[in-house]
Structure 1
């Protein structure tokens, strides 16, 4: 099936919240307590916060569809919207998630390419992301795409402090 990537708008808010909660839960529920997971979901994905993120001109959300079905999404940030202070020539991939039933269909690769294309069209020299140190599948995927670890930062799942690897890739 052909995948289609489309920019999200405020009209997509409900669907964005639904897929965000679903994919985050599917990815992390096995390794985290229900209490910590629920606390994070309530903080990160409540409608007003997502609406604010969608309205930020320095953040961009994209849905990927497989056939007619929403299969995943991508969130990228530039400038001051990035979650870490970075140079102006960088773009952050803050979220890249694909629904479980669409894993191994190449959709994550297509979302990654969308982020790279957006970065290049915006004159960026580097892309970066944070990935949980225990998410071995994601780390392997990013390494295959040319990302290397450049640091770490704290990520809070509820009040559970975890470590994210900061990984970056030069585009030039």
Structure 2
């Protein structure tokens, strides 16, 4: 694999963002969820209108992981009121780190995670937090290795299905 390059995502990247968002979400969760729930999530939460709004939010940040000119993963970070849950000024949420299944085990997630830490340090936040589906053991192991600890749970709605996310955080200072 070529060197992984991180590129900030802007409004002109909407089509690529929607494509990588949908593809990685399907690859990660389609096997464990109903087609109807998946379709509802894709239509509502990963619609062009929703992603356009998220891109316009000054407290949300998107980054692509590129191998050459190919988008192989992406990262979404939230600060302040854009955070889905805690909304504390001294925290940063990793809302999404997704990588194409074909690139698993090649360090792409690690590079995206390191970008999240760099942004958190630039923002001078005290900690990073995230929610991860309780059945996504691969992701939980990844975050455990990075030093995250579970501190709570919350409900994530996928279509009509209410799923439990483990909330994890890592102190930076």
**TM-score for the superposition, normalised by structure 1:** 0.98
What SS does the aligned partner of 1:116 have?
Answer: helix
Aligned: 1:94 with 2:81 = no
Moved more, 14-23 or 66-75: 66-75
Note the alpha carbon deviations across 1:137-163, whole angstroms, 9 max, x for none: 000000000000010000011011000
Equivalent in the alignment of 2:111 = 110
Structure 2 match to 1:161: 162
SS at match of 2:37: helix
Question: What is the DSSP-based 3-state SS (H/G/I as helix, E as strand, rest coil) of the residue aligned with 2:58?
Answer: coil
* 1:171 is aligned to 2:172: yes
d(CA) in 2 for partners of 1:87, 1:32 = 32
Q: What's the counterpart of residue 68 of structure 1?
A: 69
> How many aligned positions are there?
172
Contact 2:79/2:87 (<8 A) preserved: no
RMSD: 0.7
- Residue 35 of structure 2 corresponds to residue 19 of structure 1: no
**TM-score normalized by structure 2?**
0.98
Measured in 1, the distance between the counterparts of 2:108 and 2:82 equals 25
- Contact preservation (8 Å) 2:150, 2:168: yes
Q: What residue in structure 1 maps to residue 79 of structure 2?
A: 78
- Matched residues in 1 for 2:13 and 2:172: separation? 31
In 1, the alpha carbon distance for the partners of 2:109 and 2:68 equals 15
CA distance in 2, matches of 1:107, 1:132: 20
Q: How far did residue 69 of structure 1 move?
A: 1.4
Task: Give per-residue Cα distances to partners, 1:81-121, cap 9 Å, x unaligned.
Answer: 00002421100000100011111110100100000000001
Unaligned runs of at least 5 residues, structure 2: none
Please list every run of at least 4 consecutive aligned residues from structure 1 whose deviation after the TM superposition is greater than 6 angstroms: none
Kept in 1: contact 2:81–2:88 (CA 8 A) = no
Match of 2:36 in 1: 35
